[in-house]
Amino acid sequence: MSEITPVTEWPDYSVDPQGGNPITQDLNAPYDKGDLCWVLVCTILCWQITPAIGYLYAGMHRRKAALTMIFQSLFCACACGIQFWIYGYSLYQSRATNPMLGNLSLAGLHNVLAAPSLANSDIPDILYAAYGFTFVTATAMILAGAMLERGRLWPSMLFLLCWTTFVYYVLAYFEWNPNGWLYQLGVYDFAGSGPVHIATGFSALAWSLMLGPRISDHSAGERAKIVQHFKPHNPFLVGIGTCFIWFGWFAFNGASTANLSIRSIYVVVNTNLAACGGGIGWTLLEYLYTQKFSIIGFCSGIISGLVGITPAAGFVPVYVAALVGFLTSCCSFFANKYKYLISIDEGLDIFAIHGVGGFVGDILTGFFAASWVPALDGLSGDSYAGGWWEHNWKQMGYQLAAATTCAAWSFVVSCILLFVINKIPGCHLRVKEEDELRGLDFKYLSDAHWDGGESTTGVATNMSLHQGVPFSGSGPGSESGNGSEGTERVGGEGVGPVKRE
- Can you give the pTM of this predicted structure? 0.88
Q: What is the pLDDT of residues 435-462, one digit of tens each?
A: 999 999 999 998 886 554 444 444 433 3
Cα 177 off chain centre by? 20
Q: What is the pLDDT of residues 380-408, one digit of tens each?
A: 999 999 999 999 999 999 999 999 999 99
Angle at which helices 321-337 and 295-309 cross, to 10°: 120
Helices marked H in 338-486: 350, 357-368, 394-423, 433-438, 440-444
Walk me through the domains of the chain, giving residue ranges and CATH numbers.
32-212+230-444 (1.10.3430.10)
What DSSP state is assigned to residue 495?
Answer: -
The chain-wide mean pLDDT, for the chain, equals: 88
Contacts 24+ apart (CB under 8 A), 415-423: 415/206, 415/210, 417/159, 417/162, 417/163, 417/166, 418/159, 418/206, 418/207, 418/210, 419/210, 421/155, 421/158, 421/159, 421/162, 422/155, 422/210
d(CA 47, CA 149): 25
Backbone CA torsion sign across 292, 298, 304, 309: positive
Contacts of residue 22, Cβ cutoff 8 Å, sequence gap at least 6:
113, 114
Secondary structure (DSSP) of 287-343: HHHHS---HHHHHHHHHHHHHHHTTTTTTS-GGGHHHHHHHHHHHHHHHHHTGGGGT
- The Cβ of residue 237 has, within 10 Å, a number of other Cβ atoms equal to 22
- pLDDT by residue for the chain (501 residues), tens only, comes to 668 999 989 999 999 999 999 999 999 999 999 999 999 999 999 999 999 999 999 999 999 999 999 999 999 999 999 999 999 999 999 998 899 999 999 999 999 999 999 999 999 999 999 999 999 999 999 999 999 999 999 999 999 999 999 999 999 999 999 999 999 999 999 999 999 999 999 999 999 999 999 887 444 555 444 445 578 999 999 999 999 999 999 999 999 999 999 999 999 999 999 999 999 999 999 999 999 999 999 999 999 999 999 999 999 999 999 999 999 999 999 999 998 888 889 889 999 999 999 999 999 999 999 999 999 999 899 999 999 999 999 999 999 999 999 999 999 999 999 999 999 999 999 999 999 999 999 999 988 865 544 444 444 333 333 333 333 444 433 333 333 333 333 333 333 333 333
Helices marked H in 112-257: 125-144, 153-163, 169-176, 181-185, 199-211, 220-223, 235-254
What is the chain's percent helix, strand, coil content, to nearest 5? 60, 0, 40
Residue among 94, 87, 103 nearest 136 (CA): 87
Q: What is the pLDDT of residues 201-238, one digit of tens each?
A: 999 999 999 999 988 744 455 544 444 557 899 999 99
Q: Compute the C-alpha angle 333/152/463, nearest 5°.
A: 80
Share above pLDDT 70 across residues of the chain, in percent, rounded to a whole number: 86
How many Å is the maximal CA-CA distance in the chain?
A: 85
